[in-house]
A = this chain, B = another copy of it.
Amino acid sequence: MKNLIVGQSGGPTAVINSSLYGVIMEGFAHENEIGHVYGMINGIQGFLKGNYMDMKELPSDTQKALTTTPGAFLGSCRYKLPEDLADPVYPLLFRKFEELDIGYFFYIGGNDSMDTVSKLSRYAALHQKEVRILGIPKTIDNDLVLTDHTPGFGSAAKYVAASVCEIGIDASVYDTRSVTIIEIMGRHAGWLTAASVLARKFEGDNPVLIYLPETDFDQEAFLTRLTESFQTRNNLIVCVSEGIHDKDGKFICEYASEAGVDAFGHKMLTGCGKYLENLVKTRLNVKVRSVELNVNQRCSAFTQSRTDAQEAAQAGAAGVQAALAGETGKMVSFVRKSDSPYEMTCGLVDVNEVCNKEKVVPQEWITKDGTDISDAFIAYARPLIQGCPDLPIKDGLPVYAYRR
């Protein structure tokens, strides 16, 4: 009877630990087919240093708390395996797999992690290693191809929508003109910024303008749109992706660092939100504020989407089932059956077709002038933010799962 090992890699999300929960619970459930269920500490990188744990040792309340704990319980890494499969790290890694009698390996992560899954599964095939290697998707960016969406996106989208709504309420208490610019994560794909449209409660409501990196950003057109928008309301909320750029591909945040120098004589590194705040202040002479949603987008437990957490666990379990059925070199995918009522099942895709590719928001979901998001996106995204987490609370704050 072979053992199982699971690792987490890349940036954390609000539900990457739900996927971990899904893998280990499904592993425990197959006690006649799977021996030990191990977890790599700090991904492949930590495992190469000999760091792993037996997941059975976790108290059951800690196991349960994984489903509502943000971050990466096992620790993560950013480690790219060499392109050359003849590199000595590969036999080293598989020797370590053999020492632990590993038959099933799951890697929870995004693009780069799927690259790891691809390389390891190709190496295993080349050298007849009997380890089944599967990827469990994870990224708040929602930019993996061949899957309807990714675990982690729904919770981040919910954080964005809820925060944009609350910031809009906060900004509207005075009856004087103001602009609030909200900078949202996403360098190349604007999925999360698009989710800000879910904050809109009626036609004409905030956010009045939404800019994704999928279209070119024109500073003058932006200022004109703000001036027009002031004709109908006093308090304007604008949502921008961190990666917005002009028609020449130059990032808007680069405009700041070009001219700005900080107190240490270095180029000033600020986001596009801060740059646009200064632009609007200078040109329109109104009250302006910029808010960078920052890491809270990916680690807020209070705004976790229960749908997202459940699907993340489902993806983990589906990976274990697929491995037991003999699959390897695959990534678990999400296949949407219907928007309303929302129906989703898990599928499997060739991991080589997923890694190193990027799915951006389709042009038809962005309005022609590049300042708004279509109803089709709303129909797509809304089911993903449903449901609130059942957070265990102590002393007024959530209780999280910790490694000690």
Contacts and interface: CB of A to CB of B under 8 A. Distances in A.
Given A71-B173, A266-B278, A268-B260, A396 B400 contact: no
A175 interface: yes
B264 A175 contact: no
Contact of A400 (B12, B169, B173, B300): B169
Interface in A35-54: 42, 46
Q: What is the total number of copies of this protein in its complex?
A: 2
B282 A266 contact: yes
A292 B77 CA distance: 25
Contact of A260 (B170, B262, B294, B395): B262
Interface string A253-284: 00110111111111010100011001100100
Nearest to A266: B278
A300 to B, nearest CB: 6
A387 interface: yes
Contacts of A402: 201
A275 B292 contact: no
Nearest to A289: B295
Interface in A1-51: 8, 11-12, 42, 46
Contacts of A310: none
A38 B8 CA distance: 57
Interface string A301-334: 1110100000000000000000000000000000
Given A263-B255, A263-B258, A282-B264, A170 B46 contact: no
Report which residue of A167, A262, A291, A400 has the largest number of chain B beta carbons within 10 angstroms of its beta carbon. Answer: A262
Contacts of A302: 162, 300, 302-303
A172 B402 CA distance: 11
A211 to B, nearest CB: 18
Given A302-B302, A302-B303, A166 B70 contact: yes
A42 B258 CA distance: 42
Contacts of A261: 259-261
Contacts of A387: 396
Interface in A59-88: 69-72, 75-78
B169 A397 contact: no
A398 interface: yes
Nearest to A161: B397
15 contacts: A42-B174, A42-B175, A46-B175, A69-B169, A70-B166, A71-B173, A77-B175, A158-B397, A161-B397, A165-B398, A201-B402, A264-B279, A291-B295, A296-B296, A386-B396
Given A167-B295, A292-B292, 17 more contacts: A11-B173, A12-B170, A72-B173, A76-B174, A163-B296, A166-B301, A167-B296, A198-B395, A199-B397, A260-B260, A261-B261, A263-B275, A264-B282, A296-B296, A386-B395, A386-B396, A388-B393
